[in-house]
A and B are shown apart, each in its own frame.
Chain A
Amino acid sequence: MTFEYTILILGYIFGFYMAWNIGANDAANAMASSVGAKAITLRQALFVAGILNVAGAVFVGTHVVDTISKGIVSPEALTDPKVAIVGALSALIAAALWVFFATWKALPVSTSHSIVGAMVGFGIIVGGFSSVNWWNLAGIVASWIISPIFSMVLSFLVFKIIYRFILTQKELMARAFGLSPYFIGTTFFVVIMSFLCKTPLGKRMALDTITSTGLSLAMASTVGYAGKCLLKRHTKKTGEEGVEHTFRHLQLVTACYMALSQGANDVANAIGPLALIYFFVSNGSIGGQIEVPIILLLFGGVGIAAGIAMWGHRVIETMGHKITTLTNTRGFSVEFGAATTVLLASKMGLPVSTTHAAVGSVIGVGLARGIEAVNFRIVGQIMLYWFITVPTAAITSMVIYKILYLLFF
């Protein structure tokens, strides 16, 4: 058994490294604009991001983990447990290496894309091209294209709504207060629904779709209304300043929303392959349906939180300084669009990139003419790295598998 445990321990180490990296780098997407717009302090941001990433990972994160551990490489190819766990470890190491390289060279690379690419490489070398679930992979790749566009459209619409129904109106504050319950309510509706549907928590409560929708709606309306009352009490300024102030408070909600979504989606990048290793080590095979153990999700979440605590402040601070042009109304639109996209993708089990969703959102607000100057051309660069990341991670994964194979067999 020492062989399996060696692999498992290595899996934990590299899984933790991936999680740490997500926390250190990608967590800035959620918090930087809030810190830049002075909606929260850096310390608060780090704390909230850490806690909510763990919560998102543990309570909502299972679907994407399933996709990465079981949706890309078909289980039929993984009859030999030894091969399977070495392969999963190679995938994890390959993704970690590529992400390390990207961080070092400051390349706009997504952890989600790296891990998916690495899993594909592992599938190909273990069972040939037929062992990769190409349909699922096509779905994942499609989600990479759709998710930034979706978040772009969402943020565009949100900002246009703010522009049309608040900013250009006469009674600014009344309008802002009037719309705030809808903004808060929608956010909470999506969050509560994602907690209730198809999660261990939801299963335990045994709610059907209609009940959970009703329950979410009721809770969301209550929170929305309560939020409005709180906003009214805490916003003393009037006019344009008052509107930005209101959105500064609302941004607290969306920043949390974003951190939660990120935990839900990105935890899989770290523990997807680890979950696979865990199955084999604890069961000896991949028989039937196995739940992703909560402890693994928690492990990933804590890894992300550790990354945020240790390194996140640097990235958030730098980014926060840079994006001060994002006022509260804009920051709100960006975060709302990106977080909704990522959370919905998580519920569909799609490993999307939080960073790319945020990029899409910024472009959306830019297209709505809300920002003084946004560079659209970054999109071309990002797309280039899509095409580089997947094959690179796949090939690295294959090479590492061969090396490990020589070492262990």
Chain B
Amino acid sequence: MRIPILSMFMTSPFEGLQEHAEKVRDGAAIFRIAVKCYLNAECESFERARHEVSDLEHQADAVKRRIRGHLPKGTLLPVDKFQIFDYLKEQDKVIDCFEHVLDWLSFRPADKIPEYFRKDILFLVDSVLDPIDRLNEMLTDARRYFKTFSQEDRDIVKEHIRELRKKEGQADILEATLKHDIFAKETDAVTIFHLIRLVETLGEIADHVENAGDRMRAMIAR
């Protein structure tokens, strides 16, 4: 066939974004299990889950590289291609954070974490992971918006973004409370350092999800 139109239609980068978001979602589920195992001092299961998250991170990285590598100059998209890269960067940082948290945990055995913080930490984990399903929904709906361009679909995406921001706000409050408690109840400097850094990295997860939402807001701006 000698028809150039055939080679004009490329694989949409949004497909890749969705694939990447799914990796993040899968990673989140295993990440939660990993943290739980750690806190219950189930070392073997923790290590296994940590490796799984690390694997998913590598896969997500590959998706990211594929998207970046396959948007050459002269690709026409519904949005600026650097907006896609910006978005992807934030989404990728989410799964990076999972890995960082688990690595950080692995450096110190679980029994060094005071009993009364364990529940709060799990609570914070749930709170920062909560918006990730939304992230996936947002992407699907955004993709539909780029097809229909209807105000209705745009409002749906905007609602998702608003929700992401709200959830980040809630996680922030939890993070602050937990930090306050750590300083109030702990005296051991090493434990404080370990805990504070853990809580901060957990907080970053929600931050990056929110940032991804903000980048999406820029993409759907008229």
Are A and B subunits of one complex? yes
Q: Name A's B-contacting residues (CB within 8 A).
A: 25-26, 28-29, 32, 102-103, 105-109, 163, 167-170, 172, 239-240, 243, 315, 318-319, 322-323, 325-327, 355-356, 358-359, 362-363, 366-367, 369-379, 381-382
Query: In the complex, which residues of chain B have a beta carbon less than 8 angstroms from the beta carbon of A378?
Result: 4, 7-8
B73 nearest CB across to chain A (Å): 7
A377's nearest neighbour on chain B, judged by CB, is B74
Among A239, A369, A374, the residue within 8 A (CB) of B10 is A374
Query: In the complex, which residues of chain B have a beta carbon less than 8 angstroms from the beta carbon of A170?
Result: 151
Contact A325 B78 (CB under 8 A): no
Known: A29-B5, A375-B9. A167 touches B149 (CB 8 A): yes
Per-residue contact bits, chain B 1-42, to A (CB 8 Å; 1 contact, 0 not): 111111111111110000000000000000000000000000
Question: CA of A174 to CA of B152 in the docked complex: distance in angstroms?
Answer: 16
Among A28, A239, A362, the residue within 8 A (CB) of B8 is A362
Question: CA of A26 to CA of B6 in the docked complex: distance in angstroms?
Answer: 12
Contact B75 A373 (CB under 8 A): yes
Q: Name B's A-contacting residues (CB within 8 A).
A: 1-14, 71-79, 143, 146-153, 222
Question: CA of A355 to CA of B149 in the docked complex: distance in angstroms?
Answer: 28
Greatest chain B CB density within 10 A among A26, A168, A356, A367 is at A168
Contact A322 B151 (CB under 8 A): no
Query: In the complex, which residues of chain B have a beta carbon less than 8 angstroms from the beta carbon of A323?
Result: 5-6, 9
Contact A377 B73 (CB under 8 A): yes
Query: In the complex, which residues of chain A have a beta carbon less than 8 angstroms from the beta carbon of B79?
Result: 369
Contact A359 B6 (CB under 8 A): no
Contact B148 A362 (CB under 8 A): no
4 tightest CB-CB pairs across the interface, nearest first?
A: A366-B76, A372-B12, A376-B74, A108-B4
Query: In the complex, which residues of chain A have a beta carbon less than 8 angstroms from the beta carbon of B11?
Result: 373
Chain A-chain B contacts (Cβ-Cβ < 8 Å), number: 120
Greatest chain B CB density within 10 A among A25, A29, A243, A322 is at A322
Question: CA of A29 to CA of B6 in the docked complex: distance in angstroms?
Answer: 10
Known: A315-B3, A318-B6, A359-B5. A373 touches B77 (CB 8 A): yes
Question: CA of A318 to CA of B5 in the docked complex: distance in angstroms?
Answer: 11
Query: In the complex, which residues of chain B have a beta carbon less than 8 angstroms from the beta carbon of A240?
Result: 148, 150, 152-153
5 CB < 8 A contacts A-B? A28-B5, A108-B4, A109-B2, A163-B149, A377-B75
B32 nearest CB across to chain A (Å): 33
Query: In the complex, which residues of chain A have a beta carbon less than 8 angstroms from the beta carbon of B77?
Result: 369, 372-374
Contact A167 B5 (CB under 8 A): no
Contact B150 A375 (CB under 8 A): no
Contact B75 A375 (CB under 8 A): yes
Query: In the complex, which residues of chain B have a beta carbon less than 8 angstroms from the beta carbon of A358?
Result: 5
Contact A375 B5 (CB under 8 A): no
Question: CA of A369 to CA of B219 in the docked complex: distance in angstroms?
Answer: 12
Contact A107 B2 (CB under 8 A): yes
Query: In the complex, which residues of chain B have a beta carbon less than 8 angstroms from the beta carbon of A319?
Result: 3, 5-6
B216 nearest CB across to chain A (Å): 15
Question: CA of A182 to CA of B146 in the docked complex: distance in angstroms?
Answer: 25
B211 nearest CB across to chain A (Å): 23
A101's nearest neighbour on chain B, judged by CB, is B2
Question: CA of A32 to CA of B147 in the docked complex: distance in angstroms?
Answer: 19
Query: In the complex, which residues of chain B have a beta carbon less than 8 angstroms from the beta carbon of A382?
Result: 4
Query: In the complex, which residues of chain A have a beta carbon less than 8 angstroms from the beta carbon of B78?
Result: 369-372
B150's nearest neighbour on chain A, judged by CB, is A240
Contact B1 A318 (CB under 8 A): yes
A374's nearest neighbour on chain B, judged by CB, is B76
Question: CA of A240 to CA of B145 in the docked complex: distance in angstroms?
Answer: 10
Query: In the complex, which residues of chain A have a beta carbon less than 8 angstroms from the beta carbon of B2?
Result: 25, 102-103, 105-109
A32's nearest neighbour on chain B, judged by CB, is B5
Can you add 8 more A-B contacts, CB < 8 Å, to A240-B148, A376-B76? A25-B1, A322-B6, A359-B4, A363-B8, A371-B76, A374-B76, A375-B8, A377-B73
A33's nearest neighbour on chain B, judged by CB, is B5
Question: CA of A372 to CA of B147 in the docked complex: distance in angstroms?
Answer: 8
Query: In the complex, which residues of chain A have a beta carbon less than 8 angstroms from the beta carbon of B72?
Result: 375, 377
Contact B149 A168 (CB under 8 A): yes
Contact A325 B8 (CB under 8 A): no
B194 nearest CB across to chain A (Å): 45
Query: In the complex, which residues of chain B have a beta carbon less than 8 angstroms from the beta carbon of A239?
Result: 150, 152
Query: In the complex, which residues of chain B have a beta carbon less than 8 angstroms from the beta carbon of A327?
Result: 147
